[in-house]
Structure 1
Amino acid sequence: MNSLFSEVKVGRYTLSNRMVMAPMTRSRSDDAGVPSDLVTTYYFQRASAGLIISEGVFPVAMGKGYVRTPGIETAEQVAAWKKVTKAVHARGGRIFMQLMHCGRVSHPSLLPNGAQPQAPSSIKAAGQTYTATGLQDFVTPHALTVTEITEVIAGYRNAARLAIEAGFDGVELHAASGYLPEQFLSTGSNQRDDQYGGSVENRARFVLEVLAAMVDEVGGDRVGIKISPEMNFNDIVDANPQETYTYLVSQLRDLELAYLHVALFGAKFDYHAALRPLFDGSYLIGSGQTKDSAQSLIAGGKADAAVFGGAFLANPDLPNRFLVGAELNVPNKDLFYAPGAEGYIDYPAMSEGA
């Protein structure tokens, strides 16, 4: 029987355990999107995870949505990420980079030359984002032209190539949480009347073309995708999410992806039961798992691996704590997005007296 502690094949890699560290924005990069040395320490501390999925990284400068978040477009960014991957690999870990284009979930002050954020349609999202001057309301975005969409897809391709150059084992497309890929998928944010809007086939086209470009560049066994049906984060609304995600996942088979990462928060439909049979790669389940719930899902064959967020943040040695049944540290939410070491790399491991 499989357990959290058994090996599992994900894409081209055999992972040492089935505990995956979730992608978590922690805002410890500089204004140029270059990860600080704190970032290297942070991922090094957590390299006992079977797989680390990095925080969201903008593939192009126009994809930035929050202050102090990292990119993968410049030589300086690549050099900094090489330190991270070298540190993780030194401990025998594996790490994928999550590529996150925020689309309309941004602000001109975060973008080159004060540009308007990009989106499928010129529909403003309700809400705010974090900028250098504090919280700012979202603005009405620029609707991408077909030519610009082609350029965005090329940006994802280049980012995937640079991630591998920086030493990452693979890349994850962030198609959840209301960012650009989900903006294309969802009827509330995509009201185009061309080949990228309207029918579910057209609304899924952008995501599938991005994935195809990434797969062509680095290989399907080094590419994953994250989705979060019905999460409704960042003002995302879809008229028929069951149809949208059933169709999308049904189209992934030919891409031969490494994994499908599904995070559900309050969904009224059993997406896991509907989607897993449609996907041939590894199936990763997130959304607030505990040790016991994750173990049950894996033992029952409902998931190949479980994704943990806050538990990995506060417990850099989480697999060992689970193994021996140790008490868990509690994450300090007040410091999630603070710029320093506190609440980031100062959570103690058991050997440090936790």
Structure 2
Amino acid sequence: MTNTATSALLTPYSAGSLSLPNRLVMAPMSRHRAHEDGTPLPVVADYYAQRAEAGLLVTEGIWPHRRGQSDWRIPGLETEAHVSGWRAVTQAVHARGGRIFAQLMHGGRQGHPRSRLLGDIPAGPSAVPVPSPVHVKDGKAEAPMPREMTTDDIRTAIDDHVAAARNALWAGFDGVEIHGANSYLTHQFLADNTNLRTDAYGQDKTRFATELVTAVAEGIGPHRLGLRLSPGNPQFGMSEHDPAPAYRALLDTLDPVGLAYLHLTDNDDYPALADLRPRWSGTLIANVGENHEPTTQHQGERVLTNGHADLVSYGRAFLTHPDLPARIAANDPLATPIDMEHLYTPGAEGYTDYPTLEEERTRRLAAAAR
């Protein structure tokens, strides 16, 4: 049965460079479907094309250079092979009428020599290790002590992002999202316990994020650039005692740049959406499912109606419901379970074999007719 009243999530949205048929954004989710060199597998094109009815797709995190590789079989955007692999993805999405941004994700301290092509120790703002075991290509291992980045390392990381952003446009992406959240490099510079530096990047914890965003915006145009932040997110041992001052200052600096959007996750201890929405004049994407149960239709609608965001990103709901807009139009309960066994395996199983609502109905009718 279809909604008699259109859900706010299904209404079109247009602002700046974004012209979207609905307000549903597919959140970035790592799926480990890349060759060992970081080139996306052919099945990745099928996966994103299946979900092209979203207002906007944001890819899984992609390392800008192998210096920033966080895990095995995470994709990259460094080489010609990477660009060619991603071009097949963007062409498949565009053929279905979709729009897709590439998320650039530098691991910083995240990583292990056994999961990095360079086989080296990862580097972050300070020599502070991840407090729990990390995934490697052959299981799990204790996290290594990361190397503290030099100022040259910082400049190189920024240059790597600019180069990868240009590669993303060459691969056909509609834009790029910088991953400044969820414990990765930019978040590490913002957090209290992972940035113990005494230089300018420690005295002003927003400095790296500001320089990075500014450089990439200059490299590809701010209208093609988004930024994801997760103030106060404790994942992987991150600690931000009082996130508000730093993030308010960061947004005050970046708002005039004219980015395509800000992608912001909420937090139980710090209501980032309510606090920061008034400081952001451009498009704001809200994510309210981080560290919680999967976001429901009602929760997404409430975010829009209370004015905290213009768009809402869904992760797990898009993972198991490739036709999420149609599901919401039909008031479907979004109850398809995740195939946890194949969540990160390299094949199509548990990846591109989730049925659409129409397929489910066809199967039920066929079963009833037997």
Query: Which category of TM-score, normalised to the shorter sequence, fits these structures?
Result: over 0.9
1:155 is matched with 160
Distance 2:16 2:192 in 1: 32
1:307 is matched with 313
1:13-33 Cα distance to aligned partner (Å, 9 max, x none): 201100000100000101100
1:141: how far off? 0.7
1:330: how far off? 2.1
Q: How does 1:64-103 map to 2 (within 5 A)?
A: 64-103=69-108
Instruction: Look up the SS of the partner of 1:53 in the other structure.
Output: strand
State the percentage of identical aligned residues. 39
Instruction: Look up the SS of the partner of 1:196 in the other structure.
Output: helix
**Segments of 4+ moved more than 6 angstroms:** none
Contact 1:2–1:299 (8 Å) recurs in 2: no
1:212-271 Cα distance to aligned partner (Å, 9 max, x none): 111001111111111111211111112321222222222111211111111124x21222
2:302 is matched with 296
2:347 is matched with 340
Change beyond 3 A, Cα 1:61–1:11? farther
1:319 is matched with 325
Paired residue type of 1:47: A
**Structure 2 residue corresponding to 1:349, chosen from 310, 335, 356:** 356
The two structures have a TM-score, normalised by structure 1, of 0.96
Which consecutive residues of structure 1, in runs of 5 or more, have no partner in the other structure? none
1:276-315 Cα distance to aligned partner (Å, 9 max, x none): 1111111111132211111122123221011000100100
2:25 is matched with 20
Instruction: Look up the SS of the partner of 1:155 in the other structure.
Output: helix
Paired residue type of 2:257: L
Contact 2:7–2:329 (8 Å) recurs in 1: no
Contact 2:121–2:147 (8 Å) recurs in 1: yes
1:217 partnered with 2:223: no
1:107: how far off? 0.4
Paired residue type of 1:63: G
- Total equivalences in the alignment: 350
**Structure 2 residue corresponding to 1:241, chosen from 240, 243, 259:** 243
1:134 is matched with 139
2:367 is matched with none
1:72-96 Cα distance to aligned partner (Å, 9 max, x none): 0000000000000000011111000
Paired residue type of 2:281: D
Distance 2:330 2:85 in 1: 35
Contact 2:18–2:260 (8 Å) recurs in 1: no
Change beyond 3 A, Cα 1:334–1:264? farther
1:128: how far off? 2.3
Instruction: Look up the SS of the partner of 1:167 in the other structure.
Output: coil
1:47 partnered with 2:52: yes
Paired residue type of 1:312: F
The more displaced of 10-19 and 325-334 is 325-334
1:2: how far off? 8.4
Paired residue type of 1:306: V
Q: How does 1:87-126 map to 2 (within 5 A)?
A: 87-126=92-131
Instruction: Look up the SS of the partner of 2:312 in the other structure.
Output: strand
Contact 2:72–2:116 (8 Å) recurs in 1: no
Paired residue type of 2:218: D
Distance 2:175 2:184 in 1: 20
Contact 2:265–2:273 (8 Å) recurs in 1: no
2:252 is matched with 250
1:133-163 Cα distance to aligned partner (Å, 9 max, x none): 1112211111111111111100000011000
* RMSD of equivalent CA atoms: 1.4
Instruction: Look up the SS of the partner of 1:353 in the other structure.
Output: helix
Distance 1:207 1:85 in 2: 27
1:275 is matched with 276
Paired residue type of 1:348: P
The two structures have a TM-score, normalised by structure 2, of 0.92
Paired residue type of 1:166: A
Paired residue type of 2:306: G
Contact 2:66–2:118 (8 Å) recurs in 1: no
Which consecutive residues of structure 2, in runs of 5 or more, have no partner in the other structure? 1-5, 290-294, 362-370
Paired residue type of 2:359: E
2:292 is matched with none
Larger Rg: 2
Instruction: Look up the SS of the partner of 2:234 in the other structure.
Output: coil
1:353: how far off? 2.2
Paired residue type of 2:339: N
1:194: how far off? 1.0
